[in-house]
Amino acid sequence: MAELEALGDEKVRAWNSKSGAGENQFGVKMGDIRGVAKKIKTDPELARQLWETGNLEARLLAVLILKPQELSADELERMVRSVDYAWLADWLNNYVVKNHPNKEELRERWMAEEPANGPGAAAASRAGWSLTTERVVKNPDGLDMGALLDRIEREMKDAPELARWNMNFCLGEIGINHPAHRERVVAIGQKIGAYRDYPVSKGCIPPYVPVWVAEIVKRQG
C-alpha cells in the first residue's frame, strides 16, 4: 500500500474522480500498477488482503495477482458485487471472471437478476452481460438471440449505467456476428438511441450501435 501511495499522481486522481471513482484512491497510472504486479507475479492471499482495503489501486493490483481458479464462486460473486466503478469492474471481469471455472453458472445467475435490484446488482448485471457477450462472439450455441434482443429492447433504456454499457456491447456484437439479426439490432439501437452522441477520439468508432455495427461489418468486407 505504501508503494502504491508513493506512485500516486494528482492528475490521475482527478481523472479517476471525474470518471466515477470514489475517494479511496491514490491516482496511480495503470502502467505503474502493472509494474508492481509484474514484480509480485501471483499471490492470491495478498490479493485478498488488498481487495479488502477497498482502495482502487489495491483492488486493481489484486485483480492482476489473483488466481481465478482459487476463488470460490461465492467469493468471486462478493467481489463482483462490491464494485461500483466501471474500470475496476472491467478489469475484474476480463482478468478474473472470464477465467473462472464456474463462469457459466455465474453468468446464468447474474443474467436472471434485475440490475436495479439493489446494491451490487448493477455490477453483477454488468458481469453477466460481459460473459454473455463473450458467448455471443465465441460460443453462441444454446443462446436464444431473439430472447436476448427482446430483453435488451425492454430493459436497456432504463438500466443503470454499469449494466447499460455492456448491454449495448452485447447488442452490437449480436449485430456484427449474427447477420440474421442485424436489421433488428440496428432498429433497436436507433429506438433506444444509447450513446448516440458519445464523444470519441478521431478515428475511433463510436459505441452508438447503428454506426458501430455498420463500420465493423464494412471493415470485415
- What pLDDT, in 10s, does the model give residues 162-202? 999 999 999 999 999 999 999 999 999 999 999 999 999 99
Dihedrals phi, psi of 53, to nearest 5 degrees: -70, -25
pLDDT digits (tens, 9 = 90+) for 91-119: 999 999 999 999 999 999 999 988 777 77
The per-residue pLDDT for 115 is 78
Q: Which residue has the cell 479517476?
A: 16
The per-residue pLDDT for 221 is 84
Closest Cα to residue 28, out of 53, 2, 5, 8?
8
Helix (H/G/I), strand (E/B), else coil: 164: helix
